[in-house]
Amino acid sequence: MKSVSHSVYFCAMVVAFGAFILGLDAALISGTIKYVSKEFSLSDMEVGAMVSAPGLAVLFALMITGYICDQIGRKKTLIGISFIYIFSAITSTFAPNYETLVVARFVGGFAFTSLSVAAMYIGEIAPSKIRGKLVSIVQVSIVVGFSAAYFINYGILMLSQSDLTWVSSLAIDTQTWRWMLGVEIIPAIIWFALLFKIPKSPRWLIMKGQEAEAKEIIANFDHDLSPEEEVAQVKHSLEIDPASKSFIASFKALFSTKLRKAVIVALTIAIVQQATGINAILFYAPTVFEQIGVGTDAAFLNAVVVGVVGVAFTIVAILLIDKVGRRPLLMSGLILASISLFVCHIGFKQATYQLTSEQIIEVKNEHGIEGISHMADITFETDIEFKAALRKNMSESELRAAESILLQNATNINVAVVMTGIMLFIIAFHYSLGPILWVLFSEIFPTGVRGVAIPVFAFISSMVSYFVQQFFPWLLNNVGAADVFMFYAVSGVVGFICLYKLLPETKHKTIEEIEAQLVAN
């Protein structure tokens, strides 16, 4: 029994490693923003485009992911995705200009479909008694990737500031951002190699009429039913579900009356997970922390803390999801997320900004900034007013170079309130919204439409994520941190209201039992 269990976990770990690379890719870019912006003199919208380029690409990729998965299988699709990660990582690292970097990251975004395919694959190989735990490994992998990237970024930042000879000889001090991005290359190659060691999805094999091979795989995975019973049950599900006959029929089935409840649940979770602003905080972590005036080094260190907290509470989710259930975790997480985001709103709303004459002289000597002497001892009530005043007297490149030190000197804010709000939100997200989205996506749709449904709703989630990433720098500088966090808080409240009556409990139920509960007759 031990070896059988190990086989299931091994496959889940290998497939979920792609989510680790996604997390690494997403968080590594957060450390490069300051350097790339300065080197290429980027505007807020250009920064947003650089960060969100993968989020835009994945929108196009998800349109065809379901079709590809159903045609060539989950395993081959994942192998193709891993190759894209390798290409993107290498091209991004050696990009000679901003345009090449954006294109390389855009191409890499096609690989971000690894999340939906991984959830689909794991959901199809996992016994129901541990399915929630196994699918949650995808979310653990993401946050471990984020955390690893924050550690790496901080470590490279510290090295770049050292006087070690080898640091200079390797150009870590002058090409800091390239070293940050280059870290992704090695794990991407490792994942590519590991994917050849996993079997095909047994449910996909049954859909393709390859029942003998499916039975062999099911026998190794300790399912609740015998291989023969499992195959018979899946075949019955496919026979009564005409959507399983073609990709077009599967897509049309999503708009049918009988799937309405499942679709509403999936749509709500897909939107709310990203509308609460998780990727604004994770993808721009050092930038967010610089807004409370802690300085660049402390901002990178706080990002490391965010990563560690995220990993810890995702593990908590894995331990609880098959015991407590999906619904209690999700509902409590939405409440805590909304409250914590509102706390951040209050913290930024009460902040004021003022530079003294001594601070202005210090910035002038260190960065050569002229023309802001008249701002001495003037109190600005919002970050918007303060940044607008700076922009009147500084170029975009000058502001990019000195923004961290200016905010550090000028910001008068209750750091403890904002930090508490951010950390509570990270906790809430990672034990609820983060892992549970992929678990529910893998559970609530019938086998015949899952290959289309998961990519469709992953597409919707990714679309919201793209807009959050693209416009966050602009919103931060034109709307203000307080109102941005207020919007995120309201999104959490709306999500809670929508899901409270609609979301059923799915723990310890087979996919077919969940289908019977959610699908209208």
The runs of H, that is alpha helices, within 41-73 are: 44-72
Instruction: Tell me the pLDDT band of 99, cut-offs 50, 70 and 90.
Output: very high
Looking at the structure, do residues 212 and 225 belong to the same domain, yes or no?
yes
Separation of first and last alpha carbons in the chain: 39
* pLDDT at residue 342, rounded to an integer: 96
3-state secondary structure at position 152 = helix
Helix or strand or coil: residue 353? strand
Residue 2: inside a domain:
no
Domain holding 392, by residue range, is 352-412
Whether this prediction's pTM lies above 0.85 is answered by: no
Q: What is the pLDDT of residue 236?
A: 62
Q: Of 381, 396, 412, which residue constitutes the final position of a domain?
A: 412
Same domain (yes/no): 183, 232: yes
CA dist 13 to 17, 79, 115, 204, 249, Å?
6, 15, 13, 20, 32
Do 485 and 442 reside in the same domain of the chain? yes
CA of 370: how far to CAs of 24, 37, 335, 398, 399, in Å? Answer: 38, 20, 47, 10, 11
Packing angle, helices 44-72 and 98-109, rounded to 10: 30
Average model confidence (pLDDT) for the chain? 84
Same domain for 29 and 127, yes or no, is yes
Give the end of a domain, one of 412, 428, 448.
Answer: 412
- Are 447 and 243 spatial neighbours (Cβ–Cβ below 8 Å)? no
Backbone φ and ψ for 353, nearest 5 degrees, come out as -135, 125
Same domain for 394 and 330? no
Q: Is residue 135 situated within a structural domain?
A: yes
Same-domain pairing of 367 and 477: no
448 and 380 part of one domain: no
C-alpha–C-alpha distance, residues 380 and 386, integer Å: 6
Bridge pairing between strands 352-353 and 411-412:
antiparallel
CB 178 within 8 A of CB 185: no
Higher-pLDDT residue of 45 and 187 is 187
Phi–psi pair at 95, nearest 5 degrees: -60, 125
CATH number reported for the structural domain that contains residue 33 in this entry? 1.20.1250.20
pLDDT at 6 over 80: no
Average pLDDT rounded to a whole number, residues 208-233: 74
User: In angstroms, what CA-CA distances link 291 with 20, 276, 324, 384?
Assistant: 28, 19, 37, 11
| Domain identity same for 296 and 222 | yes
Do 243 and 174 share a structural domain?
A: yes
Q: CA 43, CA 46: separation in Å to the nearest integer?
A: 5
Please give the tally of structural domains in the chain: 2
pLDDT value at residue 343: 95
Is the pLDDT at 265 greater than 50, yes or no? yes
| Residues 138-187: tens digit of each pLDDT | 878 888 898 899 889 989 989 998 888 899 999 998 899 999 999 999 99
pLDDT at 243 over 50: no
Q: What is the pLDDT of residue 505?
A: 78
394, 412, 430 - which closes a domain: 412
Q: Are residues 264 and 392 in the same domain?
A: no
Distance CA 411, CA 298 (A): 15
State residue 244's pLDDT score: 47
Asked whether residue 3 is domain-assigned, the answer is no
